[in-house]
């Protein structure tokens, strides 16, 4: 699946690379680089098939799109973390696709979406996966500057009240 998706993404102008499972990351994944308009940091999307270890899903694959943001949550004060948490709750209420989250133990802020696709994928299924990536890129292009401004302490959630 990753080979065909990678070739299709290349045609769309994305840089992608298949990374095989390792001891640290025990699953194959397709890594896709995206450079948001307003950030100097490239985002690294990880597209992976969620394992169905119990064989409960017969005819479908769960394909996860996951990207972490370029700042460390463990270094932030409580007010900034509270603003980021509230931002995530507000954005997730109206996002058309996926959700934002934070994982404090690992110090990550992230975007995640899981798509259900047939095990036997047609060209239109690959097209849908690419559309999911484009929409995810659009959302992160739009909201990453808000996350970064709050995480850097340059702005507070109150500064973005018109966003909602």
Q: How far apart are CA 129 and CA 122, in angstroms?
A: 11
Asked whether 45 and 66 are in contact (CB, 8 A), the reply is: yes
Phi, psi of 108 (to 5 degrees): -110, 140
pTM above 0.95, yes or no: no
- What is the count of structural domains for the chain? 1
Phi, psi of 95 (to 5 degrees): -65, 135
Q: For the chain, 164 residues long, give each residue's pLDDT as a single digit of tens.
A: 899 999 989 988 899 999 999 998 888 999 999 887 766 778 999 999 988 777 778 889 999 999 999 888 888 889 999 999 999 999 999 999 999 999 988 889 999 999 999 999 999 999 999 999 999 999 999 999 999 999 999 999 999 988 88
Q: What is the domain range of residue 63?
A: 2-163
Residue with tokens 């808000």: 146
* Residues comprising the chain, all counted: 164
Helix (H, G, I), strand (E, B) or coil at 32: strand
Please give the structure tokens belonging to residue 111: 């975007």
CATH number, residue 88: 3.30.1460.70
């Amino acid at each position: 699946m990753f080979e065909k998706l990678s070739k299709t993404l290349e045609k769309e102008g994305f840089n992608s690379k298949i990374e095989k499972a390792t001891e640290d990351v025990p699953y194959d994944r397709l890594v896709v680089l995206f450079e948001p308009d307003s950030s100097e940091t490239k985002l690294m999307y990880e597209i992976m098939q969620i394992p169905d270890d119990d064989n409960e899903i017969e005819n479908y694959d769960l394909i996860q799109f996951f990207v972490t943001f370029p700042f460390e949550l463990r270094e932030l004060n409580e007010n900034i973390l509270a603003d980021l948490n509230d931002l995530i709750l507000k954005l997730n209420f109206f996002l058309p696709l996926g959700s934002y989250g934070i994982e404090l133990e690992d110090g990550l802020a992230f975007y995640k979406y899981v798509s259900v696709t047939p095990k036997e994928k047609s060209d239109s299924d690959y097209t849908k996966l690419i559309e999911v990536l484009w929409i995810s890129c659009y959302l992160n292009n739009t909201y990453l500057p808000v996350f970064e401004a709050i995480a850097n302490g340059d702005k507070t959630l109150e500064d973005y009240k018109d966003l909602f």
